Structure 1
Amino acid sequence: MDVPQPHAVILPFPAQGHIKPMLMLAKLLSHANFYITFVNTLDIHNHFLELINQTTFNNLFPRLRFMAIPDGLPPEHPRSGPQFIRDLFISILSAAPKHKFRDLLLSLINGPETGGGQWSTPTCVIADGLISILAIDVAEELHIPVIAFRTVSASSYWVYLNIPKLIEEGLIPFQGDDDMDGLITCIPGFQSLLRRRDLPSFCRFESIENPVLQFFINQTLAMTRASALILNTFDGLESPIISKLLSFFPKIYTIGPLHALLESRIKDHLLLSHSSSNGSLREQDRTCLAWLDSQPSKSVVYINFGSLVMITPDQLMEFWYGLVNSEKPFLWVIREDLLLGEDMVNETPQELTMRTRERGCIVGWAPQEEILAHRAVGGFLTHSGWNSTLESIWAGVPMICWPQLADQQVNSRCVSELWKLGIDIKDTCDRSTVEKVVRDLIEGKREEIMKSSDDIARMARDSVREGGSSYCNLEKLVDDIRSFMSSSQYASSECNEGRKL
């Protein structure tokens, strides 16, 4: 008779930067013989299934299935553009997503597959920190343990937890005419690191009543009701801050970089990423890899501002001129929805077009992990999203940071001043600056950055090897979830009856 296996329900926030690491965790837990129900919003669910080969995916991960709940937005909503995420923050708190998630959990509890079948009653919910209120409210009602997964860095999450203190001190909100280089000294561990400009982007709203600011405050505090916290980082990078987070959570599992841990635990990772899905919600243009093959070692700067950041045509032109004037080869990801207000620059100067043909390659989306690991790439101009930052750290590629949203401001400051892995150019966008920092990085003029990049990449590799901190922490997570199955609370018949209400 088969031994019953845990069944984890995973609920990510509906954005690529959140879905990607949580899907990696789902694959790792599935590889450990867990049953996984991965819950996307309906729009993401339908789009995701169109992008993957479902037969191949099901063969590779027969214990991993996808289900969906509504996102709370009306059907006619375009679900794109600068207003989309703001609308999503509000809609995710509405009644419909919570009710549908409760109905979904009840169907998993009371469905025909429970009572000894393979897909047993959920053992736990692993919830994205940005949906913590929804997930924890429902799971607590149904007596299901909740583990929170925060897809930002430990450093960024620590700053988020200190936002109420910053409000009490009168330090936020602030406007652009304030002293942006004024030090923020009241966050323990970061007393001499952060300036106003390094705080999360939502700290720049005019009022503390702004719904986006309040969303982050409330979701961050709600997370502390979870039984444990998962972070996509590694101890060698952020241990001082991780230790401070232990005052809010009884257990913390640092299991990053997740893309590297997945490769370490599942040896045919490249086959899996090509034939199933790596969590990307966009089609990848792989022709750029052949272009990279033709470039000298460590000569190329790679540019990608992520899946959500949008820029103005003027900003695009400043970056473009800076790149071509640097006279370094560049590979630039320009999404079809990257520009604010226009689909593309109407009249691109002929000199830019000509000089880009000489040394540049532009694609709509790209296989980033493979690009950063390519021998030709010598620098990464990034928005400092946490997935991109970790992937660059793992590859040992130094960064030029141009953050725009949420946690990116904190990440970029840590990259440049704490970990010495790159150059932070936040709140700056001019061609001369771009030209200079690209030249400095590719020509190796920042020796401290090069050394730190090599050293910390080595630490990241050690963390995911057998016996490494992230490798062992994943095993602890697996063992602890298994223990939920035999816990007195989980086995309580009274609780089981309560779930059926």
Structure 2
Amino acid sequence: MNYKLHRKGNQNQTEKLTFDIEMEKDPPHVLIFPIPALGHVNSMLKLAELLSVDGIKVTFLNSEYNHDRLVRHTDVCSRYTQRLPGFQFKTITDGLPMDHPRTGDRSADVLHSVKSVTPPLLKEMLLNEIKPPVKCIISDGIMSSAIDVARDLGIPIIYFRTIGACALWAYYSLGEVIDAGELPIKGTEDMDRQIKNVPGMETYLRCRDLPSFCRADDPMDKTLQLFMSETRSTPRADGLILNTFEDLEGPILSQIRSICPNIYTIGPLNAHLKARVPENTSLKPSNSFWEVDRSCISWLNEQPLQSVIYVSFGSITMLSREQLLEFWHGLMNSNKRFLWVIRPDSILGKDGENQIPEELVEATKERGYMVGWVPQEEVLAHEAVAMFLTHNGWNSTLESTVAGVPMLCWPYFADQQVNSRFVGEVWKIGIDMKDVCDRKVVEKMVNELMMERKDEFKKSSSEMADSARKSVNEGGSSYCNLDRLINDISLMSSRAHSC
């Protein structure tokens, strides 16, 4: 069997080395293992599909909790196991009780729990439960214990960080930031101080733009230290997959390559999947933990072109009742139409305080629509949608970028603070509204995006969307990097087989 290994010379040149390899008859078998969070599962499922349609056998290892929710609300089993030869789901505990909320400030519990309970279970599964033998592991890049297991068993391992390059590099640089005395942050008056020790970001990164866990009073905070130490393990893997593209994050990717040269930039994955498997990737299939309400599409169909604000704060963000009302008043006062996703578990409070006020629902009907969950890619691609009020999770940020929809950014936690700064200050495809939840500011920024600077943002967003699509089309940087990843997996599998 003939394979080509693509080795980067520089950004615009690719050297090709051809290897003739005696391969076993069976295709390479890859284990894909995400951290149990929707954003991670969603993007790694897209990668799993791309690998599967190219003939690689995939076992997708999901947490019991998340797999239960996927099966309950989606058709993932039929879409993957019945359509893709050799694809199988396996489950593993995340170590938390099934009634643990796994959202808001409790979401970090998942990371700490997985780190403590997973390694022996993963090793046992690889040795005795998953057949045929796994020849390559693609592990979530915030799970260094998977590297230890892979090394013990002699299995090649590639990391997949489901955040952007900008956030990854900020995470990686936190040791230098702390050593330089730039953390901890000294109160609200310190939030706009420039951070000088994240190489490549010296001119625009502020304290408020650092990952949310950097706001801890103690630099030895366990969550801050967990993210920092896990990210520092990245160079130990045999390669690094990133859901991004060179035109979006090229300068920061250059920084990361200084410590991790073998990077596969293969994003945006949603666009890549649509380009490579158009017959199987309508916008309607979902990898959701909640039931999708498609009535929103009928509502959008009735709205004028470029008239609707799409509002969603993702799968983990929690809003207080006061924040909910500030956003609502700001949207209503802007006199714009809006489609607002409010998860059933997304409002803080007890004894009815965590419900949407009935009077708010009734008043919204004038020009708004509220739903529990939507098919987001389909919504963003709809011609009625003009802007996205978003938490800037990396999947949402990329999906909005691909759709050419300008963003109003209100980040909640982790990488989202970094992402929103890049959207507003570096890529110029939206406005960063972090750390502000005020109806007058919401109204002002909505009008700035949709009226005063509408043409400016539409132009920059359309240009970035074009770059994203070109990257995943044949000959584009992400297209070539996916080919290289597939070829390298085959080479790794061959070496593992020969041993």
- C-alpha contact 2:245 2:478 (8 A) present in aligned 1: yes
User: Partner of 1:85 in structure 2?
Assistant: 107
Q: Distance in 1 between matches of 2:355 and 2:487?
A: 57
Paired with 2:367 and 2:137, the residues of 1 have a C-alpha distance of 49
Q: Is the contact between residue 24 and residue 278 of structure 1 (CA under 8 Å) also seen in structure 2?
A: no
Cα distance between partner residues in 2 of 1:347 and 1:379 = 23
Determine the C-alpha separation between the residues in 1 that align with 2:355 and 2:61.
Answer: 41
Cα deviations by residue, 1:212-254 (Å, 9 ceiling, x for unpaired): 1111011101222101000000011111111111122231000
1:122 aligned residue: 134
2: CA distance between counterparts of 1:396 and 1:56?
28
**Do the aligned partners of residues 76 and 9 (structure 1) sit closer, same or farther apart at CA in structure 2, a change above 3 Å counting?**
closer
SS class of match (2:325): helix
Which residue matches 1:498? none
Q: Which runs of 5+ in 2 are unaligned?
A: 1-22
Say which of 487, 492, 498 aligns to 1:491: 498
SS in 2 for 1:130: coil
| TM superposition shift of 1:185 | 1.8
Of 63, 66, 71, which aligns to 2:86?
63
Structure 2 equivalent of residue 473 of structure 1: 481
Give the letter aligned to residue 60 of structure 1: R
User: Which amino acid in 1 is paired with 2:324?
Assistant: L
Which of the residues 154, 169, 178 maps onto 2:165? 154
* CA distance in structure 1 between the aligned counterparts of 2:78 and 2:355, rounded to whole angstroms: 43
Q: Does 1:306 align with 2:314?
A: yes
- Which one-letter code corresponds to 1:122 in the other structure? V
Give the match's secondary structure for 2:58: strand
Paired with 1:319 and 1:140, the residues of 2 have a C-alpha distance of: 49
Tell me which residue corresponds to 1:267. Answer: 278
User: Residue 160 of structure 1: SS of its match in structure 2?
Assistant: helix
Q: Could you tell me how far apart the structure 1 residues matched to 2:315 and 2:263 are? A: 28
**What is the rounded CA distance, in whole Å, between the counterparts of 1:354 and 1:432 in structure 2?**
22
2:33: which partner in 1?
A: 11
In structure 1, the partner of 2:70 is: 48
- After TM superposition, the structure 1 = structure 2 runs for residues 134-145 of structure 1, keeping only pairs within 5 Å, are 134-145=145-156
Q: Is the 8 A contact 1:148 1:228 kept in 2?
A: yes
Q: TM-score, normalised by structure 2?
A: 0.91
Does the CA-based 8 Å contact 1:176-1:204 persist in structure 2? no
Partner residue of 1:422?
430
Q: Secondary structure at the match of 2:188?
A: coil
So what's the TM-score if we normalise by structure 1? 0.91
Offset, 1:392? 0.4
Q: 1:253 aligns with which of 257, 261, 264?
A: 264
For the structure 1 residues 344 and 145, does the alpha-carbon distance in structure 2 shift closer, same or farther, using more than 3 Å as the test? same
Shift of 1:406: 0.4
Q: Which digits, 9 at most, give the CA deviation of each residue in 1:77-98, with x for residues without a partner?
A: 524343432322221121x311
Match of 2:118 in 1: 97
Q: Deviations over 1:53-76 (max 9, x none)?
A: 334542212321110111122x36
The verdict on how the C-alpha distance between 1:445 and 1:6 changes in structure 2, with shifts beyond 3 A counting, is same
**SS of corresponding position for 1:263:** helix
Q: 2:443 aligns with which of 423, 435, 460?
A: 435
Count of aligned pairs between the two proteins: 475
Letter of the 2:120 counterpart:
H
What residue is the counterpart of 1:333 in the other structure? 341
Aligned position for 1:184: 195
Find the counterpart in structure 2 of residue 457 from structure 1. 465
Aligned residues: CA RMSD: 1.9
The percent identity for this pair of structures is 46
- Specify which of 327, 352, 361 is matched with residue 369 of structure 2: 361
- How far apart are 1:178 and its partner, in Å? 4.0
Separation of aligned partners in 2, 1:195 and 1:15 = 28
Aligned mates of 1:371, 1:444 — CA distance in 2: 24
Distance 1:34 1:346 in 2: 46
The unaligned stretches of length 5 or more in structure 1 are 114-118, 493-501
- CA offset digits 1:382-404 (Å, max 9, x no partner): 00111000000000000000001
Distance 1:22 1:360, change over 3 A: same
Contact 1:324 1:355 in 2 (8 A): no
1:92 aligned counterpart, secondary structure: helix
Contact residue 175 and residue 205 of structure 1 kept, 8 A: no
Contact 1:144/1:490 (CA < 8 Å) preserved in 2? Answer: no
TM-fit CA distance, 1:15: 0.3
Pair 1:243 & 2:254 matched: yes
The whole-number CA distance in structure 1 between the counterparts of 2:280 and 2:336 is 32
| Residues 460-482 of structure 1: per-residue CA shift (max 9 Å, x gap) | 01011111111111000000111
